[in-house]
Amino acid sequence: MNTLAFKNGDQMPALGLGTWKSEPGKVKMAVYEAIKAGYRHIDCAPIYGNEPEVGEGIKQAIEEGIISRKELWITSKLWNDSHKQEDVIPSLKKSLLDLQLTYLDLYLIHWPVVLKKGTKYPSSADDFLSTNSVPLTETWQGMEKAQREGLANHIGVSNFNIDKIKNIINDCKINPELNQVEMHPFLPQQELCDYCMTHRINVTAYSPLGSGDRPDKMKQDNEPILMDNEVINSIAANHKHTPAQILIAWALHRGTAVIPKSTNKERIRQNYEASFIKLTQADMNEIDQLDYEYRFVTGEAWEMEGNSYVAKKFWD
């Protein structure tokens, strides 16, 4: 199993199970089956609305002796309504309670977006706090404190562009150790990857399969279907694997972690098997041609009349 190294020598399993959009009633089984199949990394967040059930799946696997806690890598994330320094540790502790854990391996700031306490998704500009009143550097101090207190072994960010990472690095004691962003052949984000790797920031690719199960309101008109792409399908046919497996293998070959979501036992296993696929340089070069900076997750959810978020500039 590929791993990504952290500065203190810890190794994060590069393939993880994504749990965004994993339906209640299915995600416990998904987590349990994933661990049984060999996954050692589960990616979670309280906003996914399923951490208690994810925790049940982890607990069952540990109780049955399939795995011990220390063999697992569990990531969770700080929601946007808890960016004030004093809210970070209570939010982390709520995730620990829900997941039935005593520490996280990795805790991430979920978005560089600040919402008022209690807001899950904003419906108007009134639901936001200004980024001046709660700068990301303040939130980061809360993250550092959480790490110092042993609640999270590593801390990082998600959905951050280079400028926002620099903003933290210029001010912090502990650099972010990982950035989790949307990443797949239509959006390889090579510049961001290069910046992160130069600064010893690991990268996790989310929506690696194109997130076809996002709620309809998040979908763009005529959205492309990544798994239907001809190049991906022809490489899949050559290797006698599925398009999903080629997408996962591509992410692993780039040196990133990758967190495909599935709540289907067969597909969970199939995705795990992708860790063992060897793509050729020619395959990689061909897939690299597919980049057209297409985002499935645009950031438009944060753009509202009267606030300062502009989706198009969000990622610059």
Q: Which residues are annotated as a binding site?
A: 110
Binding residues for substrate: 110
Quote the least distance from Cβ 215 to ligand A2P, whole Å. Answer: 12
Quote the least distance from Cβ 298 to ligand A2P, whole Å. Answer: 15
Q: Which of 153, 207, 275, 307 is the binder for ligand A2P (CB under 6 A)? A: 207
For residue 250, CA distances in Å to 20, 42, 222 come to 21, 20, 25
Judged by CB under 6 A, the stretch of 62-70, 131-139, 141-149, 267-275 that binds ligand A2P is 267-275
Q: Which of 14, 45, 99, 209 is the binder for ligand A2P (CB under 6 A)? A: 209
Asked if 18 touches ligand A2P (CB under 6 A), the answer is yes
Asked if 228 touches ligand A2P (CB under 6 A), the answer is no
Q: Which of 199, 212, 223, 286 is the binder for ligand A2P (CB under 6 A)? A: 212
Among 37, 148, 61, 51, smallest CA distance to 97 is for: 51
For 215, residues 6+ apart whose C-beta sits below 8 A from its C-beta are none
- Between 124 and 264, CB nearer to ligand A2P: 264
Quote the least distance from Cβ 25 to ligand A2P, whole Å. Answer: 13
Quote the least distance from Cβ 30 to ligand A2P, whole Å. Answer: 8
Asked if 267 touches ligand A2P (CB under 6 A), the answer is yes
Asked if 263 touches ligand A2P (CB under 6 A), the answer is yes
> Measured between alpha carbons, how far is 66 from 130 in angstroms, rounded to an integer?
46
Quote the least distance from Cβ 74 to ligand A2P, whole Å. Answer: 18
User: Which string of x and - marks every residue 163-202 that binds ligand A2P (by CB under 6 A)?
Assistant: ----------------------------------------
Asked if 270 touches ligand A2P (CB under 6 A), the answer is yes
Q: Which residues bind ligand A2P (CB under 6 A)?
A: 18, 207-213, 227, 242, 244, 260-264, 267, 270-271
